[in-house]
């Protein structure tokens, strides 16, 4: 007997949030959005601004986005919600100046099983980083700066 794939017998995941925002992102709030009595596993990824990158001290970081970023975020999250083994999804990417230690990208996934939740969360994070038109501008303690075309 073969196990049924999630999407063979249930509806696509409910997308509670797919946003690009200048406001701080609270990982606990996104986690709460994807939790309900049907959820056996919740996985949350919080990509936080760190104080170093490739051996250099980071003083500040700013994300700038293309005007299409919100539309792309919506498309990425909703498209994947139809394909992945998840019941609930919430994702937000922050733009603007983000202090060290605060979240730049948070993805929360609820699913019936932990393996499905881990896999769905990873895929959503990877696709956001691949497809979202945002650019990271880092300023280093040595006076240099760097633009990176990735979320």
**4 within some domain:** no
Three-state secondary structure along the chain?
CCCCCHHHCCCCCEEEEEEEECCCCCHHHHHHHCCCCCCCEEEEEEEECCCEECCEEEEEEEEEECCCHHHHHHHHHHHHHHHCCCCEEEEEEECEECCCCCEEEEEEEEECCHHHHHHHHHHHHHHHHHHCCEEEEEEECCCCEEEECCC
CATH number of the domain enclosing 42: 3.90.1170.40
**142 within some domain:** yes
What is the rounded CA–CA span in Å between residue 41 and residue 57? 36
Region 142-148 average pLDDT:
95
**5 within some domain:** no
Q: Residue 3 pLDDT more than 50?
A: no
Domain with 27 in it: 11-148
Domain count across the chain? 1
Whole-prediction pTM? 0.91
pLDDT tens-place string over residues 6-34: 444 467 899 999 999 999 999 999 999 99
**69 within some domain:** yes
**6 within some domain:** no
**38 within some domain:** yes
What is the rounded CA–CA span in Å between residue 110 and residue 114? 9
Residue with tokens 């498209």: 79
Region 29-51 average pLDDT:
96
pLDDT tens-place string over residues 78-96: 999 999 989 999 999 999 9
**30 within some domain:** yes
Tokens matching residue 27: 């990982």
**2 within some domain:** no
């Amino acid at each position: 007997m073969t196990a049924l794939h999630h999407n063979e017998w249930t509806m696509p995941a409910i997308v509670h949030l797919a946003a690009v925002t200048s406001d701080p992102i609270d990982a606990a709030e996104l986690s709460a959005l994807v939790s309900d009595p049907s959820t056996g596993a919740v996985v949350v990824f919080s990509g936080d601004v760190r104080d170093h990158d490739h051996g250099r001290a980071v003083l500040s970081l700013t994300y700038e986005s293309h005007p299409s970023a919100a539309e792309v975020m919506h498309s990425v999250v909703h498209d994947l919600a139809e394909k992945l083994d998840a019941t609930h999804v919430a994702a937000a990417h922050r733009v603007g100046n983000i202090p060290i230690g605060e979240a730049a990208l948070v993805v929360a996934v609820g699913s019936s099983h932990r393996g499905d939740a881990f896999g769905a969360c990873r895929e959503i994070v990877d696709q956001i980083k691949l497809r979202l038109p945002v650019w990271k501008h880092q300023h280093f303690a040595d006076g240099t700066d760097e633009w990176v075309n990735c979320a």
